[in-house]
Amino acid sequence: MDQEQNDLNISIQSIDDITRCLTLASLLELAGWPKPGNIHRTKDFEITKFEHFLAGIAAIQPNFRELCTRIYQFSYKEDTDFQFVELGCFFYKAAKSMLDWQNGGNVLLGHILILAPLAAAATICLKAQNNNIVDFQRYLKKIIDASSVEDTVNLFRAIKLCNPGGLGKIEKYDINDEKSLNEIIADKVTLKEIFNYSKDYDLISFEYSTIFNIILNEGLPYFLNTFILHKDINIATVNTFLYLLSLHPDTLIIRKSGKNFALKVLNSASEILEYGGISSKKGLNLTRKLDDELHKHMGKLNPGTTADLISGIIFCALIFGLKF
């Protein structure tokens, strides 16, 4: 993290502000046009539609408010044990709300997993009145480090509820193996540890294992700089999406269609960025062309994990004062 980013301070003043930022982060990620291969304002999948995402986003906001309100009730010292955050319990409750309020299937599990620890860290910053990004990262690390076996059990319950294909095929503790939960409990595997096992197969797991390195150290600076340059929230959203795609093969594409397809999408994103992304006519046309091509594959080439990371980047930008 460079010195300029070290100077970022959280500007939110209340839990209401945090929930507004959470809602906006999911809505703006969804609305980003044309994020290639994703559902967005002009593209649906056969079963899952744009409106299903809107319903899911609305449905999980009370769960986020409950999480933040509960966390805010605690007092914080340097030796505070952050196990009380109970991320896993939140994952399960929010996933259930998402599924109860729409019929498009799993639309937001990735958002739930990415945004929960970020919202928790922002709430602790608010309560402790330690608002620098360094404090935010310190609390984020404490939250992940303090995760429990119960968190892991509830994560698996949430994943099975959503049926998204798991965290990738791993040698041990695979979500598709009925014995995994018993092994997790017997081996006392924490949330941090389970994400570490799957970090090579899933970008969300990688984020947990690196304390959100992609979001905070790659995506957030790029997003903020792009917004400053263009003063356009959609350009910032889509270009940051393309930027992450150009750096990291999307692991949802890898799981559904293989690494070669993910690398082809990565190379296409890199080419588009050479023309300035969607800020140029050429870049926009190439992006729309890529979007059309990926949608021909009926969701199998959907860079959905990258989209989940974008929700986290936008949330961080908003709590650190971005106005558009």
Domain boundaries, the chain: 3-319
Mean pLDDT calculated for residue range 124-144? 96
Nearest CA among 84, 64, 88, 8 for reference residue 313: 8
pLDDT band at 175 (very low <50, low <70, confident <90, very high): confident
Per-residue pLDDT at 166 exceeds 50: no
78 vs 248, which has greater pLDDT?
248
For 295, half-sphere exposure in the C-beta direction (CA atoms, 13 angstrom radius) is: 18
Q: Which residues are CB-neighbours of 17 under 8 A, at least 6 positions away?
A: 319
Per-residue pLDDT at 38 exceeds 60: yes
C-alpha dist (Å) from residue 307 to 4, 34, 76, 311, 323: 26, 12, 33, 7, 21
3-state SS assignment for residue 257: helix
221 upstream amide cis, omega within 30 of 0:
no
Per-residue pLDDT at 145 exceeds 70: yes
pLDDT tens, residue by residue, 196-251: 988 998 999 999 999 999 999 999 999 999 999 999 999 999 999 999 999 999 99
Mean pLDDT calculated for residue range 92-113? 97
pLDDT tens, residue by residue, 107-131: 999 999 999 999 999 999 999 999 9
Question: What is the model's pLDDT at position 179?
Answer: 83
pLDDT tens, residue by residue, 52-65: 999 999 999 999 99
Mean pLDDT of all residues in the chain? 94
CATH number of the domain located at residue range(s) 3-319 in this protein:
1.10.4200.10
Residue 74: exposed, middle, or buried by beta-carbon count in 10 A (0-12, 13-18, 19+)?
middle
